[in-house]
């Protein structure tokens, strides 16, 4: 049994990358229940939705979404750009990383925002699709 398993493992390349976040690169990206186009489609995601990459195979990535569901996506559908998704009912983005700073914009739940940088004291600097940027409390988003 050991002799048969070794050649099989040599043909499968995978990388464990838990904790790495990547955004969906194109709208209509399909998540599957297994690493194959013949597998059952589970979800269809829009562009910029963040996913946590758990494991990478040659052409597939095992991912976790903001709800905690685990599925598979073709790696070519993931970009290097970092995004976060708002998990609170709404989130005020401030001009500075301070609770009393003026509000730059308000993002609704499930809106994807570009992650520009982590800021001090539990804040993240984000950009909305319309170009507005501001600082959110990290606890209000997923994908960091």
pLDDT digits (tens, 9 = 90+) for 29-56: 999 999 999 999 999 999 999 999 999 9
What pLDDT score was predicted for residue 18? 55
Q: Express each pLDDT in 95-144 by its tens digit.
A: 999 999 999 999 999 999 999 998 888 999 999 999 999 999 999 999 99
Enumerate the domain spans of the chain. 2-81, 84-142
Above 60 in pLDDT, residue 4? no
Candidates 76, 14, 24, 75; CA nearest to 49 is 24
3-state secondary structure at position 79: strand
Equal fold, 2-81 vs 84-142: yes
- Say if residues 110 and 83 touch (Cβ distance below 8 Å): no
What pLDDT score was predicted for residue 14? 46
Confidence (pTM): 0.83
Which of the listed CATH numbers 1.20.1250.20, 3.40.50.2300, 2.140.10.10, 2.30.30.40 matches domain 84-142?
2.30.30.40
* Topology adopted by domain 2-81: SH3 type barrels. (2.30.30)
> What secondary structure, in 3-state letters, does 32-78 show?
ECCCCCCCCEEEEECCCCEEEEEEECCCEEEEECCCCCEEEEEHHHE
What pLDDT score was predicted for residue 120? 81
């Amino acid at each position: 049994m050991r002799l048969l398993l070794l050649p099989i493992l040599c043909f499968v390349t995978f990388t464990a990358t838990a904790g790495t976040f990547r955004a969906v690169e194109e709208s209509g990206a399909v998540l599957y229940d297994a690493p194959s186009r013949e597998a059952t489609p589970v979800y269809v995601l829009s562009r910029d939705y963040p996913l946590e990459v758990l494991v990478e195979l040659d052409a597939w990535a095992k991912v976790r979404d903001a709800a905690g569901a685990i599925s598979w996506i073709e790696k070519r559908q993931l970009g290097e750009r970092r995004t976060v998704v708002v998990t609170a009912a709404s989130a005020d983005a401030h001009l500075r990383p301070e609770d009393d700073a003026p509000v730059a914009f308000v993002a609704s739940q499930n809106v994807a925002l570009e992650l520009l940088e982590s800021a001090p004291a539990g804040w993240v600097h984000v950009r909305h699709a319309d170009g507005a940027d501001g600082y959110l409390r990290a606890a209000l988003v997923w994908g960091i």
